[in-house]
Amino acid sequence: MRLQVTPGAFKHSQYVTGCGWVGNELYTCSDDKTVHKVSPDGEDQGKVTDLDSCPTDLHWFPSGNKRQQSDQFAMSCSDGTLLLVLRNGRVEKKVEAHKGAVISLRWSNEGTAIGTAGEDGVVKIWSRSGMLRSTLATVDSSVYSLSWSPDSNQIAFTCGKEIIVKPLQPQAKQLQWKAHDGTVLRVDWNPVNGLIVSGGEDRKYKVWDGFGRLMFQSKPLEFAITAAAWSPNGELFAVGMYDSIRLCDRTGWTYSREHVPMGSVSAIAWSSDCTQLAGAGANGSLVFGQVLDRREEWQNISVLLKDTNKVIVHDILGEMEEELDFRDRVINLSVGYGHLVVTTSLQCCIYSLQNLNTPHIFDLKETVNYIQLSDKYMLMVDSVGMQIYTYEGRPVASPKFQGMRAETLNSSTVAMGSECLALIDHADAKVVRIFEASTGKELGKPISHVLDVVSVSLNRWGSAAHRKCVIIDRNRDLYVCPVGQAASGKDSVPPPFKLGAMCDAATWNTDNDMLAAIMDGKLIVWYYPNVVFVDRDLVNQVKFTKEASDLGKDPQILHFHGTTVTVRRSDGTKLVSGVSPYPTALYGIVQRNMWEQAIQLCRYVKDATLWACLAAMALADKELSTAEVAFAAIDEVAKLQYVLSIKDIPTVEGRNAELALWRRRPEEAEQLLLQAGLVYRCIDMHIRLFHWDRALELAVHHKTHVDTVLMMRERYMEAMGRHEETNPKFKQYREGVEIDHDKIMAKIEQEKEKEASRPGAKPYQ
């Protein structure tokens, strides 16, 4: 990726202090006391207004969609005034805001308030109409920059070498830390990813999370950092210094460095579609940058945005290269699952990778900010909401819920599966909501977590019943949650299972059910993560671990296709790591129910990890004979004996109940047995689990085997060396029930014979 910079033809006569985009127009303010309107190609569109004093900053009222563009912007001035100006240049309101110059101002993300900071060291909050709401903070030094938090409940501002995050609530505690070795000149807080970028006189730029933890710091550059700005989608940011602009990834490393002969870069403004930026210079000139050479990859296909309206598709294996030209500027593109989706400012084009000549094309009402593909549908997010389409361009659904903010949706907060959609609720980040892709309706109860969830991802392998999502929370703990059972409305759903801690990234394989994660300096691949809901004792036996201490801080997994994991290090370097091909082959064999061939594969490979995967897969599909062979191969004697005991159970319901117990689901096992009328087996199950109260409760309710429960309880108490009953319920029934051991054993044998004589009852074959 690179930034193609072109100088603007228009030039102010003095220092340009601020700039901002509205639609396809750039508004600039300068020390020559004028505001001008400039086209994207740098041509002057005319003077908007003249000012009484030198402006110091400019910020447009936030506007989400293309049809309702903002009609108002705010400006700060060196005489301490705050101006609210209409698009035609008329000053709607002028307020005496600070003593001395107002250095920085920003609208809140919802546009309900304005924050200003000045030479006097005061940070103030104003209403949309320019009425003073509160004086948020007073510090000893000038405040050079401020920015609102994603929820607009806090403001980050500079104070000498420090950054202060001050909540709007008076009682809330502020956050303060030393950010740079010199004065901090710029700070910008992105509403989508929640990260803060800062730049200072120490010639460094740094990336922080919302709690002040350092995520990245650059090496000392040539000059002080005088400008820094996030792209609206949070994927990129740009920093400016003397005669130079750098385009950087959200993790901090630099894509490109461009020389711009304009003196110190005083301001950087991104367009709403994130494809271009404008830079303002100390010598009065402007530069315009286009983000080009963006590359997307999927298997053997590489797609490159070569120019603003030109895309090159390269098939590496077939040695085919095709050039696609578009009438309008390309805003977004995504490739995967046999399709290429390209959105321009006006249209969406959907190509089949088998035939790039006949795309499906439909018009767009809004600029698309984000695209995510799955095997059946594609998700498109714009400023209004999110829409699900087929690959023929037919709209399918538009999932919505109360409090949804479409501008916060990105690759971390939304995940598209084959038939459902998972997203993090921005209003309550502890909640993950699941929607049906074909209707847009919410499925079942949301997944609730104890901490804020920062990332969610859905698997795409198997049927809807196999659907799972992994979540990474604020503590960087990795959990896997069953989505399929929750979406089907089942009351008894397994709770989320913690796979590990210190997780930087996690991604599902696109071809099967494998899960890759980077945790604590290691690359870990779970060959069969569903094992946590089948037999969690095997979790450590189905994973592959590889030391990856050279990945650095905050690495990201870009792709997990087939047997290759592509990781991007913190410095931008791509690394490819391979995993064993045998689990992939095992998935293909098991999916076709070829269990004998699966056993043959494992015998050929002679790998305990593969045998453990087969054992878990066989248990999940109730293939007890295969599970028997697999457990024998990995020397799990106790599990092998349990499999053999399950095979001897004559009824299907009885076997299913024991398998539910294996999955640690006693409620499900009880329900299966009671629905089948196997009351004694249900009572016996609770006795084996030492659920004495429940066993007695069932026996009393069904008026059978009360004496059996009391006898087993007596044996248990004797074995434990406790000769006196302490449970009042057992004391009560012991007084009125006679215990005849021979009669009870005969009754148990009778129950077993009765179960074996049920229609269709036969041992497992």
Pairing of strands 175-178, 162-167: antiparallel
DSSP state, residue 672: H
Which pLDDT belongs to residue 487?
Answer: 47
Summary count for the chain: helices (H), strands (E): 13, 53
CA-nearest of 714, 652, 705, 650 to 680 is: 705
Which pLDDT belongs to residue 736?
Answer: 77
**Residue 603: enclosing H or E segment and its boundaries?**
helix 595-605
DSSP code per residue over 339-383:
EEEEEESSEEEEEETTEEEEEEEEE-SS-EEEEEE-SS-EEEEES
Query: What confidence tier does 68 reach under pLDDT thresholds 50, 70, 90?
Result: low
Summarised one tens digit per residue, pLDDT across range 143-160 is 999 999 998 999 999 999
Query: What average pLDDT does the segment 658-680 reach?
Result: 93
Summarised one tens digit per residue, pLDDT across range 510-531 is 989 999 999 998 999 999 999 9
Q: Note the maximum CA span of the chain.
A: 108
Summarised one tens digit per residue, pLDDT across range 168-183 is 998 899 999 999 999 9
Lowest-confidence region among 89-93, 485-489, 681-685: 485-489
Beta-bridged to residue 241, according to DSSP, are: 244
- Angle among Cα 683, 688, 689 to the nearest 5 degrees reads 95
Write down the residue that tokens 């497992």 correspond to: 764
Query: What average pLDDT does the segment 489-501 reach?
Result: 77
Instruction: Compare 493 and 265 and report the one with higher pLDDT.
Output: 265
Instruction: Compare 394 and 485 and report the one with higher pLDDT.
Output: 394
Please state, in angstroms and rounded to a whole number, the distance separating the CA atoms of residues 84 and 82: 7
Summarised one tens digit per residue, pLDDT across range 10-60 is 999 999 999 999 988 999 999 999 999 999 889 999 999 999 999 999 999
Q: Give yes or no for residue 203 having a pLDDT over 80.
A: yes
Which pLDDT belongs to residue 112?
Answer: 93
Q: Which domains does the chain have, with CATH numbers?
A: 2-15+100-291 (2.130.10.10), 648-765 (no CATH)
Q: Give yes or no for residue 470 having a pLDDT over 70.
A: yes
Which pLDDT belongs to residue 485?
Answer: 61
Which pLDDT belongs to residue 187?
Answer: 98
Tokens coding 713: 């309880």
Query: What confidence tier does 422 reach under pLDDT thresholds 50, 70, 90?
Result: very high
Phi, psi (5° rounding) for residue 53? Answer: -140, 175
Summarised one tens digit per residue, pLDDT across range 613-646 is 999 999 999 999 999 999 999 999 999 999 999 9
Q: Give yes or no for residue 713 having a pLDDT over 60.
A: yes
Query: What average pLDDT does the segment 410-433 reach?
Result: 90
Please state, in angstroms and rounded to a whole number, the distance separating the CA atoms of residues 116 and 84: 13
Please state, in angstroms and rounded to a whole number, the distance separating the CA atoms of residues 249 and 572: 8
CA-nearest of 552, 563, 466, 542 to 505 is: 552
Average pLDDT over the chain, rounded to an integer: 92
- Whether this model's pTM surpasses 0.75: yes
Summarised one tens digit per residue, pLDDT across range 269-282 is 999 889 999 999 99
Please state, in angstroms and rounded to a whole number, the distance separating the CA atoms of residues 383 and 65: 5
Write down the residue that tokens 């003249």 correspond to: 50
Query: What confidence tier does 493 reach under pLDDT thresholds 50, 70, 90?
Result: low
Phi, psi (5° rounding) for residue 507? Answer: -145, 140
Query: What average pLDDT does the segment 106-127 reach?
Result: 95
Which pLDDT belongs to residue 537?
Answer: 94
Which pLDDT belongs to residue 490?
Answer: 55
Query: What confidence tier does 66 reach under pLDDT thresholds 50, 70, 90?
Result: low
Strand order through the sheet with 378-382: 368-373, 378-382, 386-389, 395-397
